[in-house]
Structures are given as structure tokens and as C-alpha cells.
Amino acid sequence: MSESVKLKLSKKDLETDQDVRWCPGCGDYAILATVQRTLANLQVKRENTVFVSGIGCSSRFPYYMNTFGFHTIHGRAPAVASGLKITRPELDVWVITGDGDGLSIGGNHMVHALRRNMDLKIILFNNQIYGLTKGQYSPTSALGTRAASTPSGSVDHPLNPISLALGAGATFVARAADTDAKSLGAILEKAYQHRGAVFIEILQNCPVFNDGVWEGVKDDPAGKQILLADGKPLVFAGGTKGIKLGAGLVPEIVDVVDGDTSQLVVHSELGSPVYAHLLAQLVQPDYPMPMGVLYRHDKPTYEQLAHQQVVDATTKLGKGDLNKLMYSGMVWEVGADGTRH
């Protein structure tokens, strides 16, 4: 008997021979490396892994992953990925999108893919700007953003991607910074294990059109981020500050005195939607931003339910017989004499 040698998948195996064409210093490089490293750690099957994307800088991602990949059209990646996942539930389908692609032109598809709990791992690179089209403000840009299309500052209010995902019904919602390989890697591993609609917001830096937009959060992780940990209180600033809830569920920043965290909110990934929505509202500049897995919930996925209906129908009616189907309804025979019998 010949011994089969199991080749270990390495990060290198997940790289393609194509030149990566993002701008120097783009946050996408770090994300790509972390995704490749994490999938290698997970020893995924390359042939069963598919990256689907829309249009935008982030959507070039599939070209750099040595897996199956489909670079589709603007905003439609969740739709294309849904069709793939429904018909091929055994595949791991990742969707790469951005704040313009996923929340503006493709907002509808995003909402409905999450609502259906389609088993898709959706990663949204949020840099608050349109990069590929040279710097227009996006649906996540802060009010007053001065960009190519808004020289006097934008006058529309941004949306909160995490709130949108929770509201739409995502069953795994997380946030990480592009350069925080450790946290992002941990989230990706958890997301990989989750069955259902995953939404990961990555705070991504565009060095050309919106450089430093997340600096406030990324430069001071201790002061501006809450690293979420299951069963642990919401603390930051080296454990010296924390979040408690006041009347009307108003989050309050309090000092932690003598390590006493008893009045602080304790994190649970499996917490209530009310809690998850509250976490989503902790945003700069008023609050430190929660990083990690904000919410997780198990429920049947769309493709599971759809295929169950096929199984149930087949059990009930037997495997479809095309001849029988053709002969359903009002059927009659015309005899050799050309008249009906």
C-alpha cells in the first residue's frame, strides 16, 4: 500500500502569480496577507473555497487568492454568491466588498443576503471613500467630508455598517482593523466555523484618498478600542475604564476603581440583539469602538432550508418523474382515426 503524503497548505499556496495592483501602503495588503495566513492555518481545501467580489479596490481581492474566484459587477457580489451557495452548499463562499460596493450600489443585496442567513462570509472593507473612482465620499463618510464630489463637505449622514448588518439579521457580526493581524485572524477563524450570514467590518485605510481616516481608533488601541472578549467586562484604557449602562440604556464611560468591574457590562457574543445593537452604537468620537465578535447567533441557513424542502418534497411525492409531469393536467388521447377518445 502506498503511503499518501498529506501536503500541508501554506500561505504561499494561496498566493497567485498575478501582480497585486493596489497602491503602495494600501490597507488591503495587510488584509490579504491575514486572510491567506488564516486559511492556511485552517488548512482549507483551495478547490472548495470561492471568493466573490463586486467592483472597487477591495473587489480585486479574488485575483490574488489562489482559490476559485469571481470578480462580478458593482454591488452584486452577495447576489452572485447567494446563487452559488444555494446550488453548491458544500463550498466555502467568501464575499469581499467595500463601503461603496456593499452599502451603496449593493445595499439591497447586502440586506437580503444577511436577512436570509445565507451561509456567506461577507467581509466589508470600510475606508469611508470611493477609491477606484478617485475619491468621492461614500455612505460611511462622516458628515462634512470634503471629497472630489463634495468640495464644500458632504451633507448626508453616514450609516453604521454594524447596525445595518444587525438590523438586517446577520448571525455573525464582527469588526477588526486592517493591520491588526492577530484580531482579524481570530475573527476569520471563528467566522469560518460559523454557519450562516457573516458580516465583518474591517476598518481599512486608503492612503491616497482618505489617509488616516481611522487613525483615531487605530493609533490608540488602548484608549479608543474595546477588545471584546466573551464573558469579560467592557473595559479599555488598560483596564482603567469601562462601560456601564445608565437609565434608558445610555452607555456611560466610568473609571474602574480597584479593579472592581462589577457594575460594567459583561460581553457575550451570544448576547441579545438589544445588547448587540447597543454595542454597534459605541462609535467615535463619543465612545471607544468595540473590536472583535459583537454578535453571534445560530439559526438555519437559507440553503439548508431550501434543500430541506427539496428533500421533503421528494419524500412526499417521490423522485420526480418527468413523464408523469408531462401527463399532468388535462390529458387526452387522439386515436388512429384522428379523433379524441
Partner 1 sequence: MEPKHLDRVVIRFAGDSGDGMQLTGTEFAKAAAEAGNDISTFPDFPAEIRAPAGSLFGVSGFQLQFSSSEIYTPGDAPDVFVAMNPAALKTNLKDLVDNGTLIINTGAFIESNLKKAAYKVSPLEDGSLAKYKVHAVDITALTAAALEGSDLSNKEKGRTKNFFALGLVFWMYGRELAGEIKRINATFAKNPQFAEANIKVMKAGYHYGETAEVFQTQYYVPPAHFAPGMYRNITGNEALALGLVVGAELAGKNLFYAGYPITPASSILHSLAKYKHFGTLTFQAEDEIAAIGAALGAAYGGAVAVTASSGPGIALKGEAIGLGVMTELPLVIVNVQRGGPSTGLPTKTEQSDLFQAIYGRNGESPIPVIACKSPGDSFYCAVEALKIATKYMVPVMLLSDGYIANGSEPWPLPNLNAMPRFDVVHRTDPTGYFVYDRDPKTLARAWVIPGTPGMEHRIGGIEKDALTGNISYAPENHEKQTHVRAEKIARVAQDIGEMDLSGADRGDVLVIGWGGTYGALRQAQNALAAQGKKVSHAHLRWLSPLEPGLAKIIRNFKTVLVAELNSGQLRTILRAEFLIDCLGLNKIQGMPFKVREVSDAIEALLAGAPLPATDKPTTTTTANA
- List of residues contacting partner 1 (CB under 8 A): 16, 18, 45-48, 50, 52, 55, 62-63, 65-73, 76, 79-88, 90-91, 108-109, 111-112, 306-307, 309-310, 312-314, 316-320, 322-323, 325-336, 338-340
* Closer residue to partner 1 (CB): 66 or 160: 66
* Closer residue to partner 1 (CB): 29 or 68: 68
Could you give the C-alpha distances from 89 to 49, 81, 188, 312, in angstroms and in order? 11, 11, 19, 17
* Closer residue to partner 1 (CB): 194 or 307: 307
Long-range CB contacts for residues 315-321, cutoff 8 Å, separation at least 24: none
* Closer residue to partner 1 (CB): 51 or 295: 51
> Cβ of residue 50: shortest distance to partner 1, in angstroms?
5
Tell me phi and psi for residue 232, to 5 degrees. -110, 150
> Cβ of residue 75: shortest distance to partner 1, in angstroms?
8
Residue for grid cell 498566493? 15
Could you give the C-alpha distances from 165 to 196, 202, 259, in angstroms and in order? 13, 13, 34
Which residues have CB under 8 Å from 307's CB, separation 6+?
89
* Closer residue to partner 1 (CB): 168 or 226: 168
Please say whether the beta carbons of 241 and 226 come within 8 A.
no
* Closer residue to partner 1 (CB): 118 or 234: 118
> Cβ of residue 321: shortest distance to partner 1, in angstroms?
9
> Cβ of residue 308: shortest distance to partner 1, in angstroms?
10
> Cβ of residue 14: shortest distance to partner 1, in angstroms?
10
> Cβ of residue 62: shortest distance to partner 1, in angstroms?
5
Residue type, 186: A
**Alpha-helix residue ranges (DSSP H) falling in 256-328:** 273-280, 302-317, 322-326
